[in-house]
Structure 1
Amino acid sequence: MFSKKKTIDEDYVSGEITKIEGDDVEVVMDNEEQISEKMTSSNVLKKYTELGKVMFGMLKDYRKGVYTNVPWFTIAAIAFGFLYILNPFDMVPDFIPGIGYIDDFAVFTFGLRFIETDLHNYLDWKLEEEE
């Protein structure tokens, strides 16, 4: 899935997002606990733990069909970010101390730029549902 010759930038991330399919979302959901654990155990990704919970919530609500006001690109961006975190042998392997999660952080950050508005819309919807 990931080529060592690529550099991580917005073009790379957006190109990879377009390759995400429904089965990839299922892989993410099946590995939610493992992804969450990697995020919380990494000093680099830890600050995104709460945001990760929101993103998993959006995926769950999307899959259940209760939240459909979201473009596929956003769902794919979330799935791609989580799949990248899940993959221990990405551009910079996660087992390299100190720098192993830097590329995961970059991919996650670039992905967030694409979907920030949709995440805000989801949170607004979630708050309205709770009232």
Structure 2
Amino acid sequence: MRIFRKKTDFPDEKYTLDAVKETTVEDVDEAIAREESISQKIANAGFLKKYAKLGQIMFMMIKDYRKGIYTKMPWFIIAAITTGLLYVFMPIDLIPDFIPGLGFLDDLTVLSFVTGWIETDLHKYLDWKLKEKAYLEE
């Protein structure tokens, strides 16, 4: 994701939208490949812990999308999820992650924007996932 190579401004909605617009299928594949590292970082980071379960669901969404199992999401949703997950993974942030109390503030900001944008599609996906699970159990 080119836009993440040079971070000079605190991420805001425009910064995040610009990153989403530049997201590629290769970025989605990169996020999936780094799932374990990203999930660990979210689960172990103070401010981000509340996103641990959401991160798992976001990974399920992009993996189901890439497998062609669930394609009812617009590309924007997939790109937004990928942007948020890869942003968290980035080792070089505007605010370094090792600074106690502040280190994950920029990651939290990006994840907050992404969560707001995907909320409706997230609920649709979870409803579909529950129906799919019930169907498979019959």
User: TM-score range with shorter-chain normalisation?
Assistant: over 0.9
Q: C-alpha separation between the residues in 2 aligned to 1:95 and 1:7?
A: 17
Relative contact order higher in (CA < 8 Å, ≥ 6 apart): 1
Deviation at 1:111, TM superposition (A): 1.0
Q: C-alpha separation between the residues in 2 aligned to 1:46 and 1:119?
A: 19
Residue matched to 2:119? 116
Give % identity: 49
Residue matched to 1:46? 49
Q: Which segments of 5 or more consecutive residues in structure 1 lack a partner in the other structure? A: none
Aligned pairs (5 A) from 1:98-117: 98-117=101-120
TM-score (norm 1): 0.95
Deviation at 1:38, TM superposition (A): 0.2
Q: Is 1:74 paired with 2:86? A: no
Q: C-alpha separation between the residues in 1 aligned to 2:23 and 2:123?
A: 22
* Secondary structure of 1:44's aligned partner: helix
Q: Is 1:27 paired with 2:30? A: yes
Letter in 2 for 1:30: A
Report if aligned partners of 2:21, 2:79 keep a CA contact under 8 Å in 1: yes
Residue matched to 1:12? 15
RMSD between aligned alpha carbons? 1.1
Report if aligned partners of 2:28, 2:82 keep a CA contact under 8 Å in 1: yes
- Between 1:32-41 and 1:1-10, the stretch displaced more is 1-10
Q: C-alpha separation between the residues in 1 aligned to 2:108 and 2:124?
A: 23
Report if aligned partners of 2:47, 2:104 keep a CA contact under 8 Å in 1: yes
TM-score (norm 2): 0.90
Matched positions, count: 131
Question: Radius of gyration: which is bigger?
Answer: 2
Q: Which segments of 5 or more consecutive residues in structure 2 lack a partner in the other structure? A: none
